[in-house]
Amino acid sequence: MNILLFGNPNCGKSTLFNLLTGLRQKVGNFPGVTVEKKTGTFSIHEITHTLIDYPGVYSIYPKSQEELVVYDAIKELQSSAEPRVGVVVVDASNFERGLFLFSQLADLDIPMVLVINMIDLAGRNGIAIQLDALKNELKHTPIAVMNARVGLGKNRLLDALAQQIKEQKSENYFGINPTIFEPEAFEQQEADATKRQQSIRKLAERVVVKKEVQAQKSKLDWWLTHPVFGYVIFALILLVIFQAVFTLSSYPMDGIEWVFQQIAMHFAAWVPEGVFQDLLCSGILPGISGVLVFIPQIGLLFFFIALLEDSGYLARAVFLMDRLVRPFGMNGRSVVPLLSSMACAIPGIMATRGIPNAKERLITLFVAPLMSCSARIPVYTLLISVVIPKQRFLGVVQLQGLVLFALYLLGIISALGIAFVMHRMLKQTTRSIYIMEIPDFKPPHWRNIFSTIFEKIKVFTMEAGVIILALSIVIWALSNYGPTEERANAVRELKAEATYAKANAKERNQSEAAVLLEHSYLGKFGKTIEPAIAPLGYDWKIGIAIGSSFLAREVFVGTLSTIYAHDEASGNFRLREKLMREMHPDGSKKFTLASGVSLMVFYVFALQCLSTMAVARRETGSWKIPILQLVLYATLAYTAAWCCFQIF
Interaction between residue 63 and other proteins (CB under 8 A): yes
Measured from the CB atom, the residue of 204 and 477 that comes closer to other proteins is: 204
Give the shortest CB-315-to-other proteins separation in angstroms.
8
Give the shortest CB-378-to-other proteins separation in angstroms.
37
Give the shortest CB-228-to-other proteins separation in angstroms.
8
Rounded to 5°, the CA angle 5-304-51 comes to: 15
From 171, 161, 146, select the one nearest 2 (Cα to Cα).
Answer: 161
Interaction between residue 263 and other proteins (CB under 8 A): no
Give the shortest CB-365-to-other proteins separation in angstroms.
22
Options 157-165, 291-299, 321-329, 503-511: segment touching other proteins (CB under 8 A): 321-329
State the DSSP string of 493-537.
HHHHSHHHHHS-HHHHHHHHHHHHHHTSHHHHHHHHTHHHHGGGT
Whole-angstrom Cα distance, residue 268 to residue 290?
19
Options 312-320, 418-426, 490-498, 558-566: segment touching other proteins (CB under 8 A): 312-320
From 307, 291, 288, select the one nearest 244 (Cα to Cα).
Answer: 307
Interaction between residue 180 and other proteins (CB under 8 A): no
State the DSSP code for 216: P
Give the shortest CB-103-to-other proteins separation in angstroms.
12
Contacts of 297 (CB under 8 A, 6+ apart): 245, 249, 253, 343, 344, 346, 347, 374
Interaction between residue 120 and other proteins (CB under 8 A): no
Interaction between residue 94 and other proteins (CB under 8 A): yes
Of 100-119, binders to other proteins (CB under 8 A) are 100
Whole-angstrom Cα distance, residue 451 to residue 40?
12
Contacts of 477 (CB under 8 A, 6+ apart): 283, 521
By CB under 8 A, the count of residues binding other proteins is: 40
Give the shortest CB-9-to-other proteins separation in angstroms.
10
Options 56-64, 171-179, 273-281, 618-626: segment touching other proteins (CB under 8 A): 56-64
- Residues across the chain: 648
The single residue among 2, 50, 197, 261 that binds other proteins, judged by CB under 8 A, is 197
Interaction between residue 128 and other proteins (CB under 8 A): no
| Backbone torsions φ then ψ of 406, nearest 5 degrees | -60, -35
Interaction between residue 282 and other proteins (CB under 8 A): no
The single residue among 17, 30, 54, 61 that binds other proteins, judged by CB under 8 A, is 61
The single residue among 202, 266, 323, 392 that binds other proteins, judged by CB under 8 A, is 323
Rounded to 5°, the CA angle 50-55-57 comes to: 125
Per-residue contact string for residues 215-234; x = within reach of other proteins by CB under 8 A: ------x---xxx--xx---
- Per DSSP, the three-state class of 482 is coil
| Backbone torsions φ then ψ of 137, nearest 5 degrees | -75, -40
The single residue among 106, 127, 514, 522 that binds other proteins, judged by CB under 8 A, is 127
Measured from the CB atom, the residue of 97 and 527 that comes closer to other proteins is: 97
Contacts of 250 (CB under 8 A, 6+ apart): none
Contacts of 83 (CB under 8 A, 6+ apart): 1, 111, 165, 168
Give the shortest CB-30-to-other proteins separation in angstroms.
21
Options 181-189, 337-345, 497-505, 558-566: segment touching other proteins (CB under 8 A): 181-189
From 332, 290, 222, select the one nearest 554 (Cα to Cα).
Answer: 290
Number of Cβ atoms within 10 Å of the Cβ of 559: 22
Interaction between residue 431 and other proteins (CB under 8 A): yes
Interaction between residue 359 and other proteins (CB under 8 A): no
The single residue among 46, 132, 187, 273 that binds other proteins, judged by CB under 8 A, is 187
Contacts with other proteins, residue ranges (CB under 8 A): 58-59, 61, 63, 93-94, 96-97, 100, 125, 127, 186-187, 189-190, 193-194, 197, 221, 225-227, 230-231, 315, 319-320, 322-324, 332, 431, 433-440
